[in-house]
A and B are shown apart, each in its own frame.
Chain A
């Protein structure tokens, strides 16, 4: 089944290319059917994982100690299920959006999207650092054409920043971190409890951790966050699924995996030189939120909000307590639901009204009630107001921080909640309660497919507040055997 999950997106990509030759409708049906099939395959793995099994697949060694191999474990399962599930909704949305905006080169768009999904599944299921790195780079490369989709001067420039930062950090820092790990531990296998304990010590631990954290540029810990705002030149479906879910989550997912399975939580907890990560994450959260406050462009604001939210996950992982690790996993899901809703809404506004700036949003709630309701739900989830998904994950991260008695983490979470409210609430207020300026364009709701997708993800955001038991159950396996 792992093999099917990996190969299926590739088959879909090939199918899209072929179908693109004949008709747009056929191509989009292939995308949709493919997305559903992938979700079905990935979700089909769930029962096994719940039962405590860890299905494996290996393609043999490339070099001694370097193998392309896959093993499904709870965190990766969660990530893959999330990405493949949201791909269905995103495909629906893409079709509406791309048609609504009459974008060019749609075949390339859908093909690269499928490839990006293949890479995401690869990252999620990788059983060692090398395999993860392989698919991590594939993900960067396959998303580059999506970011530079428009092809004009400004877009290509942004895409260059995107690719430059992601590849430079991964080759310049991530790769040496991997080689260093291999050098001292003689293995790159993700092992519960870590592989580095006793092999490395002192300041080296902090240094290696730094190489990993900043090398995984996709996690957007400051100062390697610049690519994320730059990536906002992409069409909105890309920003929504890739730059709120697949790509950025691949980053924090990698960091969480490295902390849990390479370093080992207990080992890191006992090593003082690793505490800087908490500071770095806290700084990123606060700084990104402050920057977000000053943004005038809706998508850029969302991008900076994403930077901050990603560091929540990093912070949660860095707190190094079981509850916080669960919080990290759940926040990946919660943030995904919330942020994809927000991006969908932003794209819907763009499709219907061509509006991108905040000040243009006055009174838009009356013209696009469905979209703005969804936006409101997404924003509340970002702030962490019940009954939304964001509340659940924040609760766990806070609980973990209390467990670790980490005052800085607790303070940061509270402060950033205030900041989140400070930049989201004015938008909501503006959209619903202010008057639309005279002479504006007369427009209604976005295309039905777009609205359908927005509403669906908004419902997921709400639903996750009530039905999160199964996810937490799954992730408890992650921290089994960890010291409380």
Chain B
């Protein structure tokens, strides 16, 4: 595999790196809000992957126009899918933050180790 080919997968490299950063943050941080930030990064990486794969070289938005034949356009399905996934991600984040608020109310802290000590 030549260097050029490797660079050609640029988006996928970014996907893998961002994914790893997100996952690492989720696992390594003890602060619950930081964990949620990590989770969001982790999910965003996946959005990037979906968006990357639907791109067709030279393609435009998939809008059918009169008089324009044989137009190349990008695959709309992954975009639709990822729109849904983003909604899911946002709701997860919202719920996660709500739980963090409740944890803060109940325990007075959002550091995981302190919560474990409290019980």
Do chains A and B directly touch (beta carbons under 8 Å) in the complex?
A: no
Give the B-binding residues of A (Cβ under 8 A).
none
